Amino acid sequence: MQAATLRVLVAAAAMSLAGWAQAAKPTVADAEKFVKDAEARLEKLAIDAGRAEWVAENFITDDTEVITAQAGERYLTLSGELALKARQFNGLKLPEATARKLKLLQLSLMFSNAEDRADYTRLLAKLTGAYGKGKYCPKDGNACMPLGELEKILAESRDPARLKEVWLGWHNQAASYKDDYVKYTALSNKGAREMGFADTGAFWRSNYDMPPAQFASEMERIWQQVKPLYDALHTYTRYKLRETYGPQVVPASGPIPAHLFGNMWSQSWENLYPLLKPAVAQSSYDLSKVLESRKTSAVDMTKYAERFYTSLGMETLPKSFWERSLLTKPRDREVVCHASAWDIDGDMDVRIKMCITPTAEEFSVIHHELGHIYYDLGYRKQSFLFKNGANDGFHEAIGDTVALSITPDYLQKIGLMTETPDPAQDIGPLLQRALAKVAFLPFAYTVDSWRWQVYGGQVKPADYDKAWWALREKYQGMMRPEPISANGFDAGAKFHVASDTPYARYFLAHMLQFQFHRALCREAGYTGPLHRCSIYDNKKAGAKFQAMLQMGASKPWPEALKAVTGEDRIDGGALLEYFAPLKAWLDTQNQQLAAADKARNKS
């Protein structure tokens, strides 16, 4: 009797355990419910964090830094918890959308220690605030100068001593927040490792629908494609800088001092155009002068950009955009003037934060920033985890694609140019664009190449500047104007390092925009030289573009790329096609300049 009872009890217990195990095993329905709940909770906290960050960048105070850090900490806490819980559904056969959302959920940092979370978000807010408040204060007692004033000197002065002074002044101030950056990167790595990534660099490289090592290889492959064009531009620029500053300042070979390129980071050389422009007669047209003479306001600049997008068949910007955006620098307070686009609520509350002035450069920038806004509006009907770019390079490429259509034909159509210049004068505008686009490529590659080494532990804090300048010499052909200082942090003089914003996106964007541009020009039926094409007012091209924008992050990025271009791999071929006439011209100029230089040396 007892034995029989025991057997019954054991059997019942076994059945109970089996039932429990079966019930405990996650199902497809469980996964879908989990994702739905996770999206709702994350969206609410993302909106809160976005509002807090908006206030912090528009009202830089200790209090707004704290509020931003607290909001960021809440979001980080939840995203980390959800990332861990999402792992329970790995291995289930799930609908494509649900599986993709679970994958995206797991691309998150995780801090099991609450103090680490608090420190991480506090340090990030502090670093961003420190950059925004940064100034160069000359030792002679003259007034301290913010970044905007220093950039103006670099753009306009041709005094190498003055250029060197302000360049060093800005870069040296970054050392004041180096210690915080060291602490921050250590915490970031801790969060990445808790989620199973080797380090934060590997975590970043995992965001591209391919293994981290493959992504790094893809970056190098693309760079090698376009490097010959950059080398030709760098060689030509060296000759012209030697003519301007003399051989004592600019060496005949080797790296060139970085303070001579008209830009604080030597990432854009547009301000050198007066020194580099072709000797043959060029159009005297100057968009900056036209905008200034017409007293074009910040709102007017933004309206021009909006009308480009609506000409493609896209919607007008909501009334709240005009009420809530910051388009000019306030007189009563410091703000982060770095141009940025904001999607506050994942719906219609979209904004721009930018201190707009009527220049050709900022005319292009506002077209770029509205690209972010129209991408946000395009995918707003997607669920929360898909309200993003196909990859972060896409988000940067949308507005830049439109900016490539700021051609003489476009400017004439909108009344900012009276007649279209002769095609024989195209080299000048192509050179100007290359000074922005091509010159930027190795800098964009360098920023994250350096950070991948920092996060990976190959570069220690004592060697930050040594590694930074080794990469800048390798890829940009540049050197620091003075020897490295003991506790330098030159990388931190760039906003995206201080704010820990991944930078590979900008490199990818500079490739994608030319692929998009070529494909949309073909869709519009254009058959001429690629650099003269504008898709302005072409609804057919606009419809194809908008269809991709509406996809958001719902599909792997190669599918989004294919939807517009028919290609599923990022390729530098379109960029090379766009600049082909300039490359031929640069090669000829470099041959002639080399011969002249050789003749001078003989004499």
Q: Average pLDDT in the 520-528 region?
A: 96
Q: What is the pLDDT of residue 4?
A: 42
Q: Say whether pLDDT at 466 is over 50.
A: yes
Kindly indicate the confidence band of residue 300, based on its pLDDT and cuts at 50, 70 and 90. very high
pLDDT recorded at residue 11: 42
pTM attached to this predicted model: 0.88
Q: How confident is the model at residue 281 (pLDDT cuts 50, 70, 90)?
A: low
pLDDT greater than 60 at residue 12? no
Average pLDDT over residues 499-510: 94
Percent of the chain with pLDDT over 90: 80
Q: How confident is the model at residue 60 (pLDDT cuts 50, 70, 90)?
A: confident
Section 66-70 average pLDDT = 90
- State the SS3 of 58-78: HCCCHHHHHHHHHHHHHHHHH
Least confidently predicted of 12-16, 337-341, 557-561: 12-16
Give percent of the chain above pLDDT 70: 95
Is the pLDDT reported for residue 18 higher than 80?
no
Confidence label for 10 from pLDDT (cuts 50, 70 and 90): very low
Question: Residue 59: what pLDDT?
Answer: 87
Judge contact between 567 and 409, C-beta under 8 A: no
**Mean pLDDT for the chain?**
92
pLDDT at 274 over 60: yes
**The two structure tokens encoding residue 494:** 């760039």
pLDDT at 5: 42
Angle at 363 between CA 360 and CA 367, to 5 degrees: 145
Which residues does 85 contact at the CB level (< 8 Å), separation at least 6?
34
What does the pLDDT read at residue 524?
97
Residue type present at position 370: L
* Comparison of pLDDT for 603 and 505, the residue scoring more: 505
| Structural contact between residues 516 and 571, judged by C-beta atoms closer than 8 angstroms | no
Above 70 in pLDDT, residue 367?
yes
Label residue 14 by pLDDT band (50, 70, 90). very low
Q: Can you tell me the mean pLDDT for 560-578?
A: 96
Of 506, 493, 505, 534, nearest to 172 by C-alpha is 493
Report the chain's terminal Cα–Cα distance, integer Å: 118
pLDDT tens digits, 254-273: 999 999 999 999 999 999 99
Q: What is the mean pLDDT of residues 412-439?
A: 90
> Which pLDDT score is estimated for 22?
46
Report pLDDT for 13. 37
Q: Which amino acid is at 504?
A: A
CA dihedral in degrees (291, 296, 299, 302; nearest 10)?
A: -10
pLDDT, residue 568, reads 93
**pLDDT (average), residues 156-161:** 96
pLDDT level of residue 192 (50, 70, 90 thresholds): very high
Check pLDDT > 50 for residue 1: no
Question: Which has the minimum average pLDDT: 64-78, 361-375, 547-561?
Answer: 64-78
**Per-residue model confidence (pLDDT) at position 603:** 61
Sequence-ordered list of residues with C-beta below 8 angstroms from that of 364, at least 6 positions apart, any chain = 403, 406
pLDDT at 121 over 60: yes
